[in-house]
A and B are shown apart, each in its own frame.
Chain A
Amino acid sequence: GAVVSQHPSRVICKSGTSVKIECRSLDFQATTMFWYRQFPKQSLMLMATSNEGSKATYEQGVEKDKFLINHASLTLSTLTVTSAHPEDSSFYICSATRQGRIHNEQFFGPGTRLTVL
Chain B
Amino acid sequence: RKEVEQDPGPFNVPEGATVAFNCTYSNSASQSFFWYRQDCRKEPKLLMSVYSSGNEDGRFTAQLNRASQYISLLIRDSKLSDSATYLCVGMDSSYKLIFGSGTRLLVRP
Contacts and interface: CB of A to CB of B under 8 A. Distances in A.
A34 B87 contact: no
Contact of A32 (B42, B44, B87, B95): B95
A84 B52 CA distance: 44
Contacts of B72: none
A103 B55 CA distance: 15
A44 B42 CA distance: 12
B91 A106 contact: yes
Contact of A106 (B41, B95, B101, B102): B95
Contacts of B42: 110-111
A43 B87 contact: yes
A4 to B, nearest CB: 9
Q: Contact size class for B?
A: 10 to 19
A97 B93 CA distance: 12
Residue picked from A43, A44, A93, A107, most chain B C-beta under 10 Å: A43
B43 A110 contact: yes
Q: How large is the interface on A (under 10, 10 to 19, 20 to 34, 35 or more residues)?
A: 20 to 34
A42 interface: yes
A93 B99 CA distance: 13
B97 A106 contact: yes
A105 interface: yes
A70 to B, nearest CB: 19
Interface of B: 32, 41-46, 49, 87, 91, 94-102
